[in-house]
């Protein structure tokens, strides 16, 4: 079986890029990744692009060919992958599988989203394309609303308080201080979170990830060519699972089964368990989701996720730092997010992260689409 390694990474700043188009951003990220790998563009044999909704955000479909065109990569095959906010991880997984098939040795997996060309309410409606259009979107739900339904159910069942939930943005904003690519770089206090604008009760502005433009790219190679590169980071496990598209179709609002199943597959493939993970990027699109992820990924027992925050376990310097780059609250260009998470773990394992954890050998990324209709978990390792 072929093994896959990541040998180059590139990421734009997460920002409202008024002067840059999706073409500019994806080309910029791709060029950075190629340079980081020490390659030339003509070495790339295929391109996989994660993007959620360029049709609704910028009126542009057929995005993979456009990205290949703009990056000077034609005529290599270019494929777009879509699984809402998990599109980036999906593109990465498809690229891994393509290498494992034996067809390619060097692939670029990228993700990007340009979200600020349309107004807020239109962007909220576009994002709702990831939910059940006929019953969730059609009754006026928003993504903040969907996660608010989960947050209220969780708070009601497990007694999570406002201030405990606020530990997620407090930690991630602190982590993001050192990240020059973060959209926001300021600390927040529990009081500031509790007083920020209500978006969908009980979730407030500082519980939410922002509307962001950005792109990210990685270079994947097969073990046949990996020794040509310095510092390859190995893909140890890749798990993907699906759940019901509509949140209301799930018997429990306080867990995401697709995460649990994707995690089990990734752990089994990697031959590790949650206790072996030393650094992780989890999908904190809204504060509550980071706590759900702790539990669904096996980092904490059900209902005890908050303990990892209160004990500072998931803070930098703790036993399992999570979202060391600041997480999604410091930028969530949905199609780019999965790739951006992988880049952070690659940097942590290579030892060149902005907010470096001490000598981690194994890390995990967790990326979900919608309210968990798609979940992808990847485990990366320093050693093959």
Q: Which residues are catalytic?
A: 85, 332
Q: Is 166 in the site for another protein (CB under 8 A)?
A: no
Distance between CA atoms of residues 382 and 384, nearest Å: 7
* Minimum CB distance to another protein, residue 289 (Å): 15
* Minimum CB distance to another protein, residue 265 (Å): 21
Q: Is 165 in the site for another protein (CB under 8 A)?
A: no
Pairing status of strand 78-81 against strand 46-50: parallel
Binding residues with another protein: total (CB under 8 A): 39
Q: Is 140 in the site for another protein (CB under 8 A)?
A: yes
Show the site string, 189-228: x = touches another protein by CB under 8 A, - = not.
--------xxxxxxx-------------------------
Other C-beta atoms closer than 10 Å to the C-beta of 176 total 27
Task: Return the number of the residue (150 or 362) whose C-beta is nearest another protein.
Answer: 150
Sign of torsion, CA 183 361 288 259? Answer: positive
Q: Determine the Cα angle at 367 with ends 173 and 37, to 5°.
A: 85
Count CA atoms within 13 Å of residue 72 on its CB side.
8
Q: Is 120 in the site for another protein (CB under 8 A)?
A: yes
Task: Return the number of the residue (146 or 233) whose C-beta is nearest another protein.
Answer: 146
Q: Is 145 in the site for another protein (CB under 8 A)?
A: yes
* Member of 116, 144, 314, 341 binding another protein (CB under 8 A): 144
Residue length of the chain: 384
Q: Where in 244-263 is the site for another protein (CB under 8 A)?
A: 246-251, 253
Task: Return the number of the residue (166 or 348) whose C-beta is nearest another protein.
Answer: 166
Q: Do 9 and 33 form a contact (C-beta atoms < 8 A)?
A: yes
Task: Return the number of the residue (34 or 128) whose C-beta is nearest another protein.
Answer: 128
User: What are 233's strand-pairing partners?
Assistant: 6
Q: Is 383 in the site for another protein (CB under 8 A)?
A: no
Q: Is 159 in the site for another protein (CB under 8 A)?
A: no
Distance between CA atoms of residues 214 and 361, nearest Å: 28
Coil vs helix vs strand at 243 = coil
Contact range with another protein by CB under 8 A, out of 243-251, 280-288, 301-309, 372-380: 243-251
Give the residue from 63, 291, 320 showing the smallest Cα distance to 157. Answer: 291
Q: Is 152 in the site for another protein (CB under 8 A)?
A: yes
* Minimum CB distance to another protein, residue 58 (Å): 16
Q: Phi-psi region for residue 84, left (φ > 0), alpha (ψ -120 to 50) or beta?
A: left
Coil vs helix vs strand at 25 = helix
Q: Do 266 and 277 form a contact (C-beta atoms < 8 A)?
A: no
Task: Return the number of the residue (143 or 315) whose C-beta is nearest another protein.
Answer: 143
* Member of 45, 137, 269, 356 binding another protein (CB under 8 A): 137
User: What are 22's strand-pairing partners?
Assistant: none
Any residues with CB less than 8 A from the CB of 75 and at least 6 apart, and which? none
Task: Return the number of the residue (187 or 249) whose C-beta is nearest another protein.
Answer: 249
* Member of 141, 216, 336, 349 binding another protein (CB under 8 A): 141
* Residues lying near another protein in the complex (CB under 8 A): 120-122, 124-125, 128, 132-142, 144-145, 148-150, 152-153, 156, 197-203, 246-251, 253
């Amino acid at each position: 079986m072929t093994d896959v390694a990541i040998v180059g990474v590139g990421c734009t700043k997460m920002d409202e890029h008024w002067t840059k188009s999706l073409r500019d951003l994806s080309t910029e990220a791709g060029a950075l990744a190629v340079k980081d790998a020490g390659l030339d563009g003509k070495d790339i044999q295929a391109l996989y692009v994660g993007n959620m909704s360029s049709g609704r955000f910028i009126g542009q479909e057929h995005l993979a060919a456009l990205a290949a065109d703009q990056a000077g990569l034609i005529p290599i095959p270019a494929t777009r992958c879509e699984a809402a906010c998990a599109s980036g991880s999906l593109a990465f997984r498809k690229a891994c599988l393509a290498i494992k098939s034996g067809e390619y040795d060097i692939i670029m997996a990228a993700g990007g989203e340009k979200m600020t060309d349309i107004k807020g309410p239109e962007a909220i409606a576009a994002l709702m394309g990831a939910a059940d259009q006929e019953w969730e979107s059609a009754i006026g739900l928003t993504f903040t609303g969907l996660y608010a339904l989960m947050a209220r159910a969780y708070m009601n069942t497990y007694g999570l308080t406002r201030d405990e939930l606020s530990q997620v943005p407090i930690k991630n904003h602190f982590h993001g201080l050192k990240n020059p690519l973060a959209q926001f770089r300021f600390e927040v206090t529990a009081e500031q979170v509790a007083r920020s604008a209500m978006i969908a009760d009980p979730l407030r502005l500082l519980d939410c990830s922002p509307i962001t433009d950005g792109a990210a790219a990685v270079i994947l190679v097969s073990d046949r060519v990996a020794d040509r590169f310095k510092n390859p980071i190995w893909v140890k496990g890749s798990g993907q699972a699906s759940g019901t598209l509509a949140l209301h179709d799930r018997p429990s609002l306080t867990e995401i089964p697709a995460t649990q199943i994707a995690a089990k597959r990734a752990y089994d493939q990697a031959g590790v368990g949650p206790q072996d993970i030393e650094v992780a990027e989890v999908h904190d699109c809204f504060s509550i989701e980071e706590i759900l992820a702790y539990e669904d990924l096996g980092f904490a027992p059900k209902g005890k996720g908050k303990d990892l925050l209160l004990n500072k376990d998931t803070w930098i310097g703790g036993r399992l730092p999570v979202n060391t780059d600041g997480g999604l609250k410091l930028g969530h260009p949905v199609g780019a997010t999965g790739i951006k998470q992988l880049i952070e773990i690659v940097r942590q394992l290579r030892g060149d992260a902005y907010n470096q954890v001490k000598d981690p050998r194994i890390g995990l990324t967790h990326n979900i689409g919608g309210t968990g209709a798609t979940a992808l978990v990847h485990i990366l390792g320093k050693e093959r």
